[in-house]
Structures are given as C-alpha cells and as structure tokens.
Structure 1
Amino acid sequence: MIVVGGEALIDLVATEPVTAAHLPVRTSHPGGGPHNVAIALARLGSPASMLSRISTDDFGEALVSGLRESGVDTSLLQRGPEPTMLAVASPGSDGSARYSFYVQGTADRFVTDPGTLPPQVRALSLGTLSMVLEPGASAYESLLRRESARGVFVALDPNVRADLIDDAEAYRERFERWLPHLGLLKVSEEDAHWLAPDAEPVSDAVRRWAGAGPAAVVLTRGADGLSVVLPDGSRVDVACREAAIVDTIGAGDTVQAALLHWLSHNDALERPVVADMGADRWREALTYAATAAALTCSRPGAQPPTAEELPSPSFSPN
C-alpha cells in the first residue's frame, strides 16, 4: 500500500477569463496535490490510503465520499469541524492556472502524527501545502523522517506555493534537510528555480539534490517533457505527449502517482533498486507518467486517468 499524506481541498475554477467588469461562474472540483495523487494511484490500480484531516462540512463530506468511490482507503483519515481549504484557480490562455488559497484555520492544518504506519505500507508520498502550513507541517515532517528510517520508500513533491511561505530561506533549508530521507524527489522547473534561485543553470541544483540522498530526482519541464537525474549525475529525458489541453490542474500530481504506480508494479519501490534503474527502465517510467499527465490535461480540473486508458506499466526490455 502507498500512503499519501497531505491536504484535500476544493478547487474553485473559473469557467472563463476574469476581468474587472466580469466575474465568471466558478465550478468546484475536489483537489489538493496529495488528494489528487491518492485518487490517481487508486484509479491506476495501486492500493492507496489517504492520511489527512478533513472537515466535517459539506465540502469535506464530498471529499471523503470521492476518495472512497475511487477506491482510496480512508482508515487513516482524521476528521474535524474546521472548514475545508479552498483554492481559487484561474486558468490562463495556455491552460496553466494561477491560484489563491484560503487556508486560515482549515482542517488539514491540525492533522496529528498517526504514529508508525501499518506494516503493509511500502511507500509514503508527501508534498504541497501540507509541508508548509503549521502545525500540521511538523507532523508530516516527523512522519517523513520516521518512516524513511524504518525503510519505507518516501516520495516528495514540494509543489511550491510561494505566496504561503513566510520565510523562503527557512523553507529552503528545511527542504535541503529532507533530501537524505527521500527515495524520490519530483520537482517542476518552476519549483527548482524557486528552491535554488542562485543556480544557473537550474540543472546544477537538480544534480546537487540528486547527490544529497534521493535515489532519483524527476524534473517536470512542461511542454519540454520530463527528465530524471540519478545520484551519479546521469540524466534521461522524454518528450511530453500531445494533448488538447483544457487546463493543467493536477498534471504534476498525476506524474507523481504514475511514477509511484510504475515503480510499484515493477517491484521497484526501494531506494537501491531505483538508484540502479538503467536508462531504458527510466525511459519507460517517464513515458508512462507523461502519457498519464497528458490525459489529465485534456480534462477540466484534476481528473487523472484509469488503468484502462493507459498502456501497461510493465517494463518491457528490448
């Protein structure tokens, strides 16, 4: 089983451009990076469990129902009367989205450390707002360190939301301290530039991170595709997959889930195995993730694909 820790929220997405004279209708979609990863894993066929604190309000009830309907285990969920976090998303002309977050006093901020995870847990995925907003961020960090120390494969997608980080340098220092505990780090180019503002080119920072602990660092490069950098500095690139883009909401989360699903399906959810994966295996893993992300981009909101919509994740050596 793969446990996904972090926020579940509601995306309020504009249906047309916002102008000073016109406020468009907004549609509500279940969202939050970790929530999207858990849903995507379950749809792809990996046993997934969501660890979060979710509100008992109407939005929270909808989030929990959606998780269960998608096949996500909810036994680790905590519930509370605090309101559900909201993300106001305004897609641009290229499908990318700008976000404003309403996080004050919301439920996930008050998640508590659940203690040692069940013995069947093979991997833990963390990231996004849950690693920033206290006091929950400290609980998730304790979980990251403890589970890594006992051999659980830990994956991190920081998915930086700079507007919510009060002290950028303090966060960057925390991020560096997480690296030795990670099996997989996934960052977007935008994240990498923010996390290492003095690195030029940013690939220098990615290689440094790859040598600081993770078995692999995956870099998402938007329309330019995906790359992976291994601890020895070697790099594998794949192109993105063509798609009629509606928006890019949830695309990075789909990449995270698809990579974890591919690794799990190929019995590779272990740091030494990931570190030793050759170029051919990584090319197949990245291509699988890019294909999954393209399908998500072809739909409004975070709607990851199912296993039936994708080729087999099994590695097929030449």
Structure 2
Amino acid sequence: MIVVAGESLIDLVPHGNGEPLPTLLPRLGGGPYNTAVALGRLGARAAFCSRMSTDGFGEALLTGLRDAGVDTGLVARGPEPTTLAVASLGADGSAGYGFYAEGSADRLFELPPRLPDAARAVAFGTCSLVLEPGASAYEALLRREAERGLFTLLDPNIRPGLIPDADAYRARFAGWLPSVSLLKLSEDDARWLGGVPEGPAAVVLTRGDEGMSVRTRTGTEVSVPATQVRVADTIGAGDTVNAALLHGLAARDALSADGMARLDAEGWREVLDFAARAAAVTCSRTGAEPPYAWELRQDD
C-alpha cells in the first residue's frame, strides 16, 4: 500500500475567452489528493491520509477517491469548510493559485496512529506542510514513518503566497530531508529554494516541456524528454509525476533506498519515461484528471 498524506481542496478553474470575470468551474484537487487519485487510476493499492470537510465539496472529494479505488480509512472528517484554490492560467497553460484556506478542515489534521502494516511508502507535499496547525502533524508523520523504515516521497510544490517567512520555511525544509527517500522538485521549486539540495537517496527534477531528470546518491544521472501533447493546462501534472514515480518504482521492487540504488540507468529511464507519458495525458485535459492504466498501456 502507498499512503498519500496531505490536503484535498477544490480548484476553481477559469473557463471563457478573455472575460474580465470568467466562469470558474469547480474541480477536485489538491496536490496530495491528485497524487492519491492518480495512484488509484494507475492500479496501485493506495490510501489517503487527511482531514476532510463534511460539506458538499468534501463529499465530492471523498467520492472521487473511492471512484479511483483509493482507501479512505485514514481520512478524518470535520464540519469546517473545504479549502478553495482559484487558478489563473497562463498562455502556455501554466497555473497560478490564490487560496482560501483560513479555518478549513484540512488545516486541523492531527497525527494519526501508526500507519497500517501493509504500508510500504508515504508521500507528502504542497499546502499541508505549510499551513498550521496541521503542518506540524504532517511533519511528525513524515519523521515517524521514515524512522520505522517506510519509503518517503516529498514534493514541496511550493506556493510562495502561502509562505509568510521564506527563510523559516527553507530551514524547515532542510530539516525534512534526512527523512526523505525521494525528493521531487520542479525547476520553479529549485529556484525558490536556492538550488537542488543533497541528502535524499534520489532527486527528480521536472523541467516542464523539457522533460525531467533524476540524480541518485550513488551517482546515477538520467534525463528523458517530455512527451509532446497539446496542453489544455498543467494542473495536476506534477502530482501525476509523483504517482507514476511511486507506481513505477513499486513495480520494480525499488520502494527503498537500497532498491533505488540497485536500479540501473535503463531502469530509471523507464520509470521517468512512464512518468512523462502519464503527466502528458493530464496536461491534455482541463483540471487535474490523471490517466488510467489502460491509457498508457498501448505505449508500453
């Protein structure tokens, strides 16, 4: 089982042609949520660990997880509202966000009991590691599960508008790295952090339409090109990469530091290529709509 821990929210995605106030279409979202849904659609045994609202949006988000085959037994519920993220789309389909998160349900996440024995990996990222008081609980979960030997993936997916003290966040981020097996960064993340850090067993860097690369602690370096596609928007693309990386590593029995060390350059190339193809499907659709396994099988 691969557990994804973090927020779910509703993306409000603009729809229209240049109107001053475009129609905003609600889409299920949140970085960790998208990763969990993508894992389920790819056929992985996945679970979501979070706190979700009992409002209508929360019910829709929970249904989305179940429809993807994601276990929701680690989801707590609360009456507070669901976080909203208003997306703004660039000419190239890239997305920026404004968040309405004050007093929302996911911010009140509390450290759960030990994860199930079936858990092999746990993934973290985005708003959940920034917004207190939940951020401290997610951080405690990261450290606890890494200490007991679970494989951990971190995708900070940095949203500068949510970070009141950049230096404090960078210091906190550095403190997470000893507990991280696989770090996934976008080029924007790396620039904001001041470079690609050392520490995790492997670091994957995504470069948008220029593809992605991996650098491992054992010295393996591999790059693959992006899969060319007509881009509707990039919402959820990085989250799909997270899921595809985890799924690809699990298929090669490499969900451990030792397992990744045994993976040769060709193995990493296959994993990265799978992730690039999966992300391309997501980019071809409006909102975070990751692919199903059958959509990628024809290329395997």
Q: Given the two structures, how large is their TM-score scaled by the length of structure 2?
A: 0.97
Q: Identify which of 11, 25, 28 aligns with 1:27.
A: 25
In structure 1, the residue corresponding to 2:91 is in which secondary structure?
coil
Q: What corresponds to 2:283 in structure 1? A: 297
Question: For 1:115 and 1:70, how far apart are their aligned partners in 2?
Answer: 25
Q: Identify which of 26, 32, 44 aligns with 2:42.
A: 44
**Is the contact made by 2:220 and 2:264 (CA closer than 8 Å) also made in structure 1?**
no
Instruction: Name the structure with the higher strand share.
Output: 2
Question: For 1:229 and 1:176, how far apart are their aligned partners in 2?
Answer: 18
C-alpha deviations, 1:175-208, integer Å up to 9, x for none?
1111111110000000000011xxxxxxxx32xx
For residues 159 and 81 of structure 1, do their structure 2 counterparts lie closer, same or farther at Cα, with a shift above 3 Å needed? same
For residues 83 and 245 of structure 1, do their structure 2 counterparts lie closer, same or farther at Cα, with a shift above 3 Å needed? same
Question: For 1:281 and 1:69, how far apart are their aligned partners in 2?
Answer: 31
* Pairwise CA distance, 1:265: 1.4
Question: For 2:182 and 2:206, how far apart are their aligned partners in 1?
Answer: 13
Q: Which has the larger displacement, 123-132 or 88-97?
A: 88-97
Question: For 1:228 and 1:276, how far apart are their aligned partners in 2?
Answer: 14
Q: Output the amino acid matched with 2:8.
A: A
Question: For 2:124 and 2:17, how far apart are their aligned partners in 1?
Answer: 32
Q: What corresponds to 1:88 in structure 2? A: 86
In structure 2, the residue corresponding to 1:108 is in which secondary structure?
helix
* Residue 242, structure 1, aligned to residue 225, structure 2: no
Q: Identify which of 92, 100, 121 aligns with 2:98.
A: 100
Question: For 1:187 and 1:271, how far apart are their aligned partners in 2?
Answer: 18
Question: For 2:299 and 2:172, how far apart are their aligned partners in 1?
Answer: 34
Question: For 1:275 and 1:127, how far apart are their aligned partners in 2?
Answer: 24
In structure 1, the residue corresponding to 2:37 is in which secondary structure?
helix
Q: Which has the larger displacement, 286-295 or 167-176?
A: 167-176
Question: For 2:213 and 2:238, how far apart are their aligned partners in 1?
Answer: 13
After superposition, where does 1:264-303 map in structure 2 within 5 Å? 264-303=250-289
Q: What corresponds to 1:202 in structure 2? A: none
* Pairwise CA distance, 1:276: 3.1
Q: Output the amino acid matched with 2:39.
A: L
CA-based RMSD of the aligned residues comes to 1.4
Question: For 2:239 and 2:16, how far apart are their aligned partners in 1?
Answer: 24
Q: Output the amino acid matched with 1:143.
A: L
Q: What corresponds to 2:16 in structure 1? A: 16
Question: For 1:312 and 1:235, how far apart are their aligned partners in 2?
Answer: 27
C-alpha deviations, 1:252-278, integer Å up to 9, x for none?
000000000001111111111113321
For residues 283 and 246 of structure 1, do their structure 2 counterparts lie closer, same or farther at Cα, with a shift above 3 Å needed? same
Q: What corresponds to 2:4 in structure 1? A: 4
Question: For 2:262 and 2:100, how far apart are their aligned partners in 1?
Answer: 42
Q: What corresponds to 1:256 in structure 2? A: 242
Equivalent pairs: percent with the same residue? 58
**Is the contact made by 1:285 and 1:313 (CA closer than 8 Å) also made in structure 2?**
no
Question: For 2:96 and 2:2, how far apart are their aligned partners in 1?
Answer: 29
Structure 2 stretches of 5 or more lacking a match?
none
**Aligned residue pairs, count:** 300
Q: What corresponds to 2:107 in structure 1? A: 109
Q: Identify which of 199, 207, 215 aligns with 1:229.
A: 215
Q: Output the amino acid matched with 1:222.
A: G
Question: For 1:304 and 1:96, how far apart are their aligned partners in 2?
Answer: 16
C-alpha deviations, 1:144-203, integer Å up to 9, x for none?
00100111000000000011111111110111111111110000000000011xxxxxxx
In structure 2, the residue corresponding to 1:52 is in which secondary structure?
strand
**Is the contact made by 2:122 and 2:153 (CA closer than 8 Å) also made in structure 1?**
yes
Q: Output the amino acid matched with 1:297.
A: C
Structure 1 stretches of 5 or more lacking a match?
197-204
**Is the contact made by 1:96 and 1:249 (CA closer than 8 Å) also made in structure 2?**
yes
Q: Identify which of 174, 179, 184 aligns with 1:176.
A: 174
Question: For 1:30 and 1:18, how far apart are their aligned partners in 2?
Answer: 24
Q: What corresponds to 2:122 in structure 1? A: 124
